[in-house]
Amino acid sequence: MSLPPPRKTLRAIGFDDAPFERRRGAVAHVAGIVCAGTRFEGMVWGKLQVDGWRATDTLCRLLEGGKFLEQLHLVLVDGITLGGFNVVDLPLLARRLGLPCVAVMRRRPDMPAVERALRRLPHAERRLEILRRAGPFHHHPPFTFQVHGATPEAIGPALARITDRGNVPEPLRLAHLIGTAVERGESGKRA
């Protein structure tokens, strides 16, 4: 899986969950925003169960058989979990979609705190195993990320190519803003 050279437009989709009720079994909506470079090109919208098990399947279902998958070069997820602790299986996502998949974060997570939180949920070991499969954290300032399907050395510059302002790639920034606006009636201050 290779990314287009810098002179070609990089198309990426960024997935983020919309604000949701923080109780197990509730529904969380997921916005997927497609950008060509930093320009908005399209959107998918789905839902998953808070603290559930089908985040990876949900993202795949939103793309498989749709018009966007064949156009994409890169799949981004805001963190490794959606809807609380519905963990994305990053290597499985990359394998199913045939694209580099990247979990992007503002900073490296406090893994001992994440593990303590996960241990309060059913099947904690299974969730932790999916988290571990995401692999090591990489830092390419200002981005912290985990990646499958491409090298970290290729992903750092690719994230910079699709970032318009700040430290968040545009597909993820827009997914956050749109998801918040749909759920709350207006977008939030921070993306």
The answer to whether 19 and 179 are in contact (CB under 8 A) is: yes
Residue 4 domain flag: no
Residue 5 domain flag: no
Q: Which of 139, 161, 188, 175 is nearest to 14 (CA)?
A: 175
- Low-confidence residues in the chain, pLDDT < 50: none
CB contact set of 2 (below 8 Å; sequence gap of 6+) = 150, 154
Q: Which CATH number belongs to the domain containing residue 39 in this structure?
A: 3.30.2170.10
Map residue 76 onto helix, strand or coil.
strand
Place of tokens 């989709």: 13
Q: Which of 7, 6, 26, 37 is nearest to 174 (CA)?
A: 37
pLDDT score for 165: 82
| Dihedral, CA of residue 74, residue 100, residue 57 and residue 59, to nearest 10 | -10
DSSP state of 168: S
How many of the other CB atoms lie within 10 Å of CB of 77?
Answer: 30
- The pTM of this model reads 0.95
Residue 19 domain flag: yes
pLDDT score for 188: 73
Q: How far apart, in whole angstroms, are the C-alpha atoms of residue 28 and residue 20?
A: 5
For residue 59, what are the domain limits?
11-182
Looking at the structure of the chain, the number of domains it has is 1
Residue 37 domain flag: yes
Residue 191 domain flag: no
pLDDT score for 157: 95
Backbone angles phi, psi at 142, to 5 degrees: -95, 15
Question: Quick one: angle between helices 55-63 and 90-97, nearest 10?
Answer: 20
The answer to whether 135 and 148 are in contact (CB under 8 A) is: yes
Question: Quick one: angle between helices 124-133 and 111-118, nearest 10?
Answer: 150
Residue 188 domain flag: no
Tokens, residue 19: 């604000």
Place of tokens 């050395």: 153
Tokens, residue 123: 């099947």
